[in-house]
Amino acid sequence: MFVGSAFLAIALAVALASPSIYPETARALEVNSSQVAMGTWVGASFPVENFQTYTSPFGLRRSPDGSYTQEYHRGLDMAAPQGSYIRNWWMGKVVEVSDDSACGTSVVVQSGQWEHIYCHMSGQVEKEAGKRYMIDRIGAVQIWEGQTVQAGVRIGRVGMTGRTTGPHLHWGLKFAGKWVDPALVLRAMYSEQDGRSLSAVPQ
């Protein structure tokens, strides 16, 4: 059973009914759908509570500032009410916390060859005894660089930090240093949960 499987079922119902989250530009993926489908997803968690809808897919998109320029969006945006908790997708080590970029307050977790990035969170980065941590006092969340976090653990809350036009989680994924469309991973997770594929622990 997946951590947060109820959230996953609702979110994937939206994903499977909405081809717009799989644009033609998805062909630019460095890690393709067949490689993702061969992954093993038991224990993975859907990354945001109170999920509402997908607001921006992976790949080329019009700039959210309203201009006609295009940019490459290296993640999947998931709308949720401000303050909704964000859950760690897979057990791993926190390798970076940051609050000084367009990503806003963010946490990066390394899980084997996978790297998962969470952007636009509430809170800020502080330092104690030379060690950095992300703290969201209102949400009672504190995440340290170097900390190991389990799948499904609350690691922050949806905020409005960085470059954003509304409350959402920007969720980015890399495998072996290559960007992956998170929507492909969610579909693979759903297929496995639904009994359409076998499972083991990912490398």
Q: Is the model's pLDDT at 70 over the cut of 80?
A: no
| CATH number of the structural domain spanning residue 39 | 2.70.70.10
The answer to whether residue 41 is domain-embedded is yes
Specify the pLDDT at position 60.
60
Convert the pLDDT of each residue in 14-36 to its tens digit. 444 443 333 333 333 455 556 56
**What pLDDT score was predicted for residue 41?**
75
pTM: 0.76
Asked if 97 and 125 count as a contact pair (C-beta separation under 8 A), the reply is yes
Which residues make beta-bridge pairs with 180?
A: 173
Does 74 reside within a domain?
yes
pLDDT above 90 covers a percentage of the chain that reads: 48
Q: What gap in Å lies between CA 4 and CA 96, rounded to an integer?
A: 24
151 vs 132: CA distance, rounded Å:
21
- Report yes or no: 44 and 151 within 8 Å, Cβ to Cβ: yes
In a domain, 199, yes or no: no
How many domains does the chain contain in total?
1
**Selected residue with higher pLDDT from 185 and 133:** 133
The mean pLDDT of the chain is: 78
Does residue 67 belong to any structural domain of this protein? yes
CB 189, CB 174: distance < 8 Å: no
In a domain, 202, yes or no: no
**pLDDT per position as a tens digit, 163-202:** 888 899 999 999 989 888 888 888 888 877 765 443 333 3
Tell me if 186 is assigned to some domain: yes
Is residue 33 included in any domain, yes or no? yes
Structural domain boundaries enclosing 88: 5-193
Report if residue 200 sits inside a domain: no
Residues facing residue 108 across a β-bridge: 96, 117
Which of 38-47, 103-112, 126-135, 160-169 shows the lowest per-residue confidence on average (mean pLDDT)?
38-47
